[in-house]
Each structure stands twice: as structure tokens, then as C-alpha cells.
Amino acid sequence: MPPAGGSLGLRRLINTHMEIGILALQGDFSEHHDILQSLGVSPRLVKLPRDLSGLDGLIIPGGESTTIGKLAEAFDLMTPLRQFSKEHAVWGTCAGAIFLSKDAQRSQPLLNAMDITVARNAFGRQVDSFEIRLPAPFLKDGKEKPFPAVFIRAPIITSVYGDAQVLLTLADGRIVAAQQGRLLATSFHPELTSDTRFHQYFVELATS
């Protein structure tokens, strides 16, 4: 089960030097960068295999999952990323969740790291974007203060199996967040809100 709501908190972040990478091949990596800095964590943009050295964790941002995968192949990052995901915390948001999965229901480059199946663009086009507040008891004050989840051309996690577990669902039962050990996948974009609790949660995973 995921750890209870933010038990380590910012105190641990301040007392521990953390360096979290953000895959910066394509997508909204700058927003993740700014949030990590606000938490006192050192962010590092990852574009080449050598950029993974010494990192405590890695965020794979939203963008276009096929493009991310093709660029990762072009920059010889696929094997290093797969190895990194076996040993460290990795979080995929939106397109990053697709790239992290073992099955995207279509042919495209994947890390094959997480026991989830993901369907692309499950909520429609850009104009169908929406925000909804989701109770998240594993986050700090997550029951009393639901998390603002922003969905933009978002995928849906259609199945969770093996060692993965469901973290969050919509009211209709569709899965929008899952965890497998220190691997994390979210259909939505926590980096597009002012709420930093999901990033705090991930940094805590990276310290465990």
C-alpha cells in the first residue's frame, strides 16, 4: 500500500539533498522543474544517458508519447532509462505514463517498466480538457483537501496487474493514477497546478 499522507513532509526534503531528473526531450518539463525547485529539490534536465548519473529519481513529463519514445531511441536513452526504472523512482505524467507502461494498445516505443495498460486520448481532444478535484488519502490532507487534477488530451489506465496497484479513480471507476513500488503513473498534470503535494509524494518515494 502507498505510504500515508505525506508523513515525511518538507522537513525531510530540507534535510536531504535530492536531485531529481526530468526527461527533457519533449513536453512540459519546465513546469516540473519549477515545482521541484520550490520544494528545495535540485532538478536536472535529462537529454542524454550521462544525465541520469547520480539522480535520485526521474519525472517523465506530458507531451506526445510517440515523439518522446522516438527521441529516446534516437538519443540512445531506452536501455539506460529501463535500467534506471528498475533501481530508482520514476514518475510518468500523461504521455509519460504511456511511455512508462508495458502496453499502450498500439505500436510505439515504450519503457515496458510498469504493469499497466494505457489508452491514449481517452477523454477526447484539447477542447475537452477539464479539471476535477480528487480525494487522495495518500497525500497530505488528501481526504479533506482533494487534489486538483488537470486532464489535457489525457490517457486512461485501462488495467492494472502484476505488482501495480490503483491509486486514484474517477467517480465512474476509471483509473487515473497507479503505483508499482517506486514507479508512479498519473493520467493528469499535477505540474499545471499550484498544489505541490504530488511532487512531494514522489520525492518521498525517491528517498525510500
* Positions marked catalytic: 94, 189, 191
**Calpha distance 90→20 (Å, rounded):** 9
- CA–CA gap between residue 58 and residue 119 (Å, rounded): 23
**CA 183 vs CA 14, 38, 57, 127: distances in Å:** 23, 22, 10, 30
Is residue 3 within 8 A of residue 142, CB to CB? The reply is no
Q: Report CA dihedral (99, 100, 102, 108) to the nearest 10 degrees.
A: 10
Cell numbers linked to 24: 527533457
> How is the chain split among helix, strand and coil, in percent rounded to 5?
30, 30, 40
Place of cell 491509486: 167
Q: How many CA atoms lie within 13 A of 120 on its CB side?
A: 16
Q: What is the DSSP string of 19-42?
A: EEEEE-SSSSHHHHHHHHHHTT-E
